[in-house]
Amino acid sequence: MTDQAVDTDGSAAGGAVPRPASAQASDGGQFVGRRRELKELRADIDRAGLDTISGRKAPRARVLLVAGRPGSGRTALAEELARQLADDYPDGVLRAHLTEPDGTRVPTERTARELLDALDVPAPPGADEDELAEVLREALSGRRALLLLDGAADAEQVDPLLPDAPECLAVAVSEGPLTGIPDVRPCTLGGLDSAAAVELLSRAAGPVRITVDPRSAESLVEACAAHPAALVLAGGWLSVRPKAAVADLAKQVHDRPEEASALARVFHHSYASLPGTAARILRLLSLAPAGHVDPHTASALAGCSVSAARTTLDDFVKLGLVRAVDSPLPQYEVPGCLVPLLRACSESQDRPAEVQLARARMLERTVRLLQSCRAITEPDGSAARKKLAGMPRALRFPSPAAASEWLRIRRPALLAAARLAVADGELDTLARRLMAALTRALVAHRGTEDAAPELYGIHRLVLDVAERRNLPREKAAALLNLADLDARTGRTQEALVRYRLALDAGRQANDPYATGRAMESVGGAYQELGDWSRASDWFGRALAHRLARDERTDAARLYGRIGTVHTYAGRYGEALRNWSSAVTGHRKTGDVAGQARALSELARVQEYAGRPEESLRTCQEAVEWARQAGDVRLQAALQLRLADTLDRLGDPAAARLHRGAAERMLGMELGEVTGPASKDSKDGAGASAYEIRSASAED
């Protein structure tokens, strides 16, 4: 056993823990009982619906409902049904949990994104639930897929996710009826039949004791009310006590009349038999984000080593108290039916300060793992890698690939941790650090574009904290990040609103960077909307702000952005003046490459203005500066521009020479020429997001 986060081969130490025997396992070899219910559900698929009876074609997917209390085996029955029907739905089985283990409803927006992600269909960051539901329906149109919607609270959660495709099937799992969705008959679950209950108990406890004492086994089944989750716990308790009598356990469970349910009676009997340290770890697992646990989470919650935490989790798996997840890394899941019981135990036995400290340790551990995950992507010898070398071995990743795999697998838990940290309200500093570290890790491993949906959610959480704590600086940062994501996905009007709000927050915080950045971004949004007057006005304000602070590099770039806008508007005189100022500014700051690019744009505007001879001279000067800057691609682009200008001036021989030079520079691959005032490039300004300013001392 190793305490390292990931082994040197990139896999988890020891591999995944085998799944415990369960009535609700998803493979056919483990599933027990429920034959009648399965038969009813399969028959319900082919049952004529109200639309068919009335002569109309069914407009939407058929919905099957599996209803039952948590722990009744409702999810396993739905999974077994999906397994049996998988061949009938070649476009796959899509799964989504509509409720968190603590009972919190999952927003439709998040569920729709998860389903679209499973379909490999891109969803625009920032889209609301109506937009995403529409994208999901379009994605499922023409497909034959099965949707398994687990933990539905009501019809309002299910209805937006239903595809307008009668070839699809939706299987919803809920505690009660879904009033509001037509033509749905619930398959309501109670306890298992006697034979299935005994078989489940036999699988969990081992067959010998059950076979030699069938009467006691039946008594234990009765004490457990044939409840699947209770039977798994009872079998787990027996499996680790080979000398315990089945009859004694049945009597002990039966003699706990103070418990409201069979599951509660068996759980508290199993819990009472745990050593004090293990019992404390089990209670604290109720704090695990979305019920997802790994050895690091348990270690941080309990304040013990990673190896000790993993050993304890493996013991819990044998007892049926947690489930092992099939994963390259050691992953566990707290059964949702046990979360309220664990929480009640914690409330009665742990002081609030201890619980809050455990939550803080968990978040701090998560922050450090994320910092390590990002640092491994930095070059050898960098400050981040040196800092990484000083971290405990348990927090280090051996390679970028191992870190990336960890981030991929733990992503749902990490996002859930961020949401819980914000909802807590008492750990806002840690919450901000967590979200900053998560943002950096996602960008380092996946890039801004690929991680945009997750980043959008993280920045909204930052905004929640900033508004709650009245932190204008953090509010400005979050608004700028959200607006940048809006702008990248074509939501320019939404971006403009957020940039203006960021400007107000930056001014309130007296943050010159945020203020200048917001002014420039407002100008960029107006430029994207084609409002040249407002764009030049806002770029001018940003320029004045930079000049007042003697920020010459940014000022030179802004002269170029103003020149670009005037070029679009056909105001070539203003454009020439601003591009000339940009050239001067880059020269004064010693930015040779910037000077070459600015001269290139100046030459193009001169050509637009009907001054080809001036354009030719300026372009030749730009070539020389591009050569000094070592920018071969720009040199080639300028050579092509010179050729075009010479053609217009009636010198085709010279034009051919310049085209030949361009071809040689690029090795016969001309590539894509960078344009002067390309509307898409926006002159390169404002491209980098204003990073969340963390309370951490990292970097």
Q: SS in 3 state form for 628-644?
A: HHCCHHHHHHHHHHHHH
Which tokens is 149 given? 């919607």
Q: Which long-range contacts (CB under 8 A, 24 or more apart) does 246-255 make?
A: 246/205, 246/209, 246/210, 246/213, 246/216, 246/217, 246/219, 246/220, 247/213, 247/216, 247/219, 247/220, 249/220, 250/216, 250/219, 250/220, 250/222, 250/223, 253/220, 253/223, 253/224, 254/219, 254/223
Backbone phi and psi for residue 14, each to the nearest 5 degrees, phi listed first = 85, -15
How high is the pLDDT of residue 653? 86
Tokens of 308: 């000790």
424 contacts 686 by C-beta, under 8 angstroms: no
What is the DSSP annotation of 443-485?
A: HHHH-TTTTHHHHHHHHHHHHHHHHHHT-HHHHHHHHHHHHHH
**Which among 245, 246, 313 has a CA at the least distance from the CA of 274?**
313
Query: Could you tell me if 565 and 539 are in contact, meaning their C-beta atoms sit under 8 angstroms apart?
Result: yes
**What distance separates the 2 farthest-apart alpha carbons in the chain?**
106
* Strands, sheet with 62-67, edge to edge from the N-terminal-most edge strand: 93-97, 146-152, 169-174, 62-67, 186-188
pLDDT on residue 681: 36
Alpha helices in 86-213 (DSSP H): 108-118, 129-140, 155-158, 194-205, 207-212
pLDDT for the residue 206? 86
**Torsion angle of the four alpha carbons 615, 617, 621, 623, in this order, in degrees rounded to the nearest 10:** 70
Do the Cβ atoms of 606 and 579 come closer than 8 Å?
A: no
Rounded Cα distance, 178 and 168, in Å? 19
Long-range contacts of 360-363 (CB under 8 A, 24+ apart): 360/427, 360/430, 361/300, 361/301, 361/303, 362/287, 362/288, 362/297, 362/300, 362/301, 362/417, 363/417, 363/421, 363/427, 363/430, 363/431, 363/434
CA-nearest of 301, 269, 299, 296 to 283 is: 301
- Dig out the tokens for 596 from the structure: 């070459």
Query: Token digits for 88?
Result: 């009938």
Handedness of CA 159, 163, 167, 168 (dihedral sign): negative
Can you say how many angstroms the Cα of residue 200 is from the centroid of all Cα atoms in its chain? 37
Question: Following DSSP, what letter does each residue of 52-87 receive, concatenated?
Answer: HHTTPPP-S-EEEEEE--TTSSHHHHHHHHHHHHGG
Q: Give residue 638's pLDDT.
A: 81
Q: Where are the beta strands (DSSP E) in 143-191?
A: 146-152, 169-174, 186-188
Q: What b/e readout covers 524-547, taking b as 16+ CB neighbours within 10 angstroms? A: bbbbbeebbebbbbbbbbbbebbe
- Return d(Cα 451, Cα 437) in angstroms, integer: 14
Q: How far apart are the C-alpha atoms of 440 and 436, rounded to whole Å?
A: 6
* pLDDT for position 685: 34
Phi, psi angle pair for 353, to nearest 5°:
-65, -35
Q: Are 297 and 263 in contact (CB under 8 A)?
A: no
Q: Are 31 and 23 in contact (CB under 8 A)?
A: yes
Kindly state the tokens that stand for 411: 């992503």
| pLDDT score, position 55 | 45
Averaged pLDDT in 10-residue chunks for the chain of 699 residues: 35 30 42 89 76 54 91 92 92 91 87 90 84 91 92 91 90 89 86 91 87 90 92 94 90 80 92 94 94 94 94 95 92 93 94 94 95 94 88 91 95 92 81 92 92 90 90 93 90 95 96 96 96 96 95 95 95 95 94 90 90 88 85 82 81 83 67 40 35 36
**Cβ of 206: how many Cβ atoms within 10 Å?**
15
Instruction: Give the burial string for 169-196 (b: 16+ CB within 10 Å, else e).
Output: bbbbbbeeebeebebbeebebebbeeeb
Instruction: Tell me what pLDDT residue 19 has.
Output: 34
Is residue 639 a contact partner of residue 665, using CB atoms and an 8 Å limit? Answer: yes
- Burial grade of 46 (CB within 10 A; 0-12, 13-18, 19 or more): exposed
Other C-beta atoms closer than 10 Å to the C-beta of 47 total 11
Residues 6+ apart with CB under 8 A from 623: 635, 638, 639, 642
Q: How far apart are CA 78 and CA 698, in angstroms?
A: 46
Q: How far apart are CA 134 and CA 657, in angstroms?
A: 55
Closest by CA to 462, choosing from 521, 505, 496, is: 505
Whether the CB-CB separation of 440 and 694 falls below 8 Å is answered with no
Element (H, E) at 97: strand 93-97
